[in-house]
Amino acid sequence: MKKGLALIAAGSMAAIATPAFAQDSDFSGPWIAGIAGYDINKAGSSQDDDLNPDADESVEGLTYGAAIGYDVDMGNVVLGAEAELTDSTADSDYDNNFSTFGLGTVDAGRDIYVGARAGYKVTPSTLLYAKGGYTNARFNFVGSDGTTDYNERLDTDGFRVGAGLEQKFSSNAFGRLEYRYSNYSEGEIDFEAEDIPDSDRFDIDTDRHQIVASVGLRF
């Protein structure tokens, strides 16, 4: 009798624990997250000045913002789509006008990203993933050629790839640590004055490296 009661109790505990475990290991559904991390922008390979490395000025700072997305848990594999809006504190030294890292003397501004990711569960609550997609970054172009002062916005298009690790803290809360690389290959000057049209699109080559952490909730 005692043995039978023990078996019933053990079975009841397993029945309670199994749904909780399944819920904690599920990465499905919509989510929202806050983002913060390190941001560095520098010359791409075609703009890099090997003869005068001092001209390859980079701008560094803090990137911060928010992301939303939706994941589909397929067992060991998780697929998802995501969108992100961030800003940055990275800026140039304005005393060195028109020093270059592929753009000129700038402040890094808002960045819009839309992409997809694919992950593999290394444990029931830990996801290793890769990502990629489209990024549109704005840089505030500031400087002087000695005759004319400029203060315009430079909008750029490019791609982003990255990889990261997501850890579930509970059935809803999670944290991520992620590295991503972006390259911007096209840009246009967005003039502030309403009666001046934007410039034609032109080629650029600017690299962006970021290491970010995020905390979010899945619904």
Q: What domain range is 175 assigned to?
A: 2-218
Task: Using the predicted structure, report yes or no on whether residue 33 has a pLDDT greater than 70.
Answer: yes
Tokens 């983002």 — which residue? 35
User: How many percent of the chain have pLDDT more than 70?
Assistant: 68
Q: What is the pLDDT of residues 77-100, one digit of tens each?
A: 999 999 999 999 998 755 544 444
**Inter-residue contact 138 to 157 (CB < 8 Å):** no
Report the distance separating Cα 165 and Cα 161, nearest Å: 14
Question: How many domains does the chain fold into?
Answer: 1
User: DSSP assignment of 78-127, as one string?
Assistant: EEEEEEEEEEE--B--TTSTT-BSSS-SEEEEEEEEEEEEEEEEEETTEE
Task: Using the predicted structure, report yes or no on whether residue 23 has a pLDDT greater than 80.
Answer: no
Q: What is the pLDDT of residues 129-143, one digit of tens each?
A: 999 999 999 988 765
- Number of helices (H), then strands (E), belonging to the chain: the values are 1, 8
Task: Using the predicted structure, report yes or no on whether residue 35 has a pLDDT greater than 50.
Answer: yes
**Inter-residue contact 183 to 3 (CB < 8 Å):** no
Reported as a pLDDT band with limits 50, 70 and 90, residue 197 is: low
Report the distance separating Cα 115 and Cα 70, nearest Å: 11
More confident residue, 24 or 144: 24
Cα-flanking dihedrals φ and ψ of residue 207, to 5°?
-100, 150
**CATH code assigned at 186:** 2.40.160.20
pLDDT score of 117? 98
Report the distance separating Cα 117 and Cα 79, nearest Å: 6
pLDDT score of 121? 98
Looking at residues 16-35, what average pLDDT do you find? Answer: 73
User: How many percent of the chain have pLDDT more than 90?
Assistant: 52
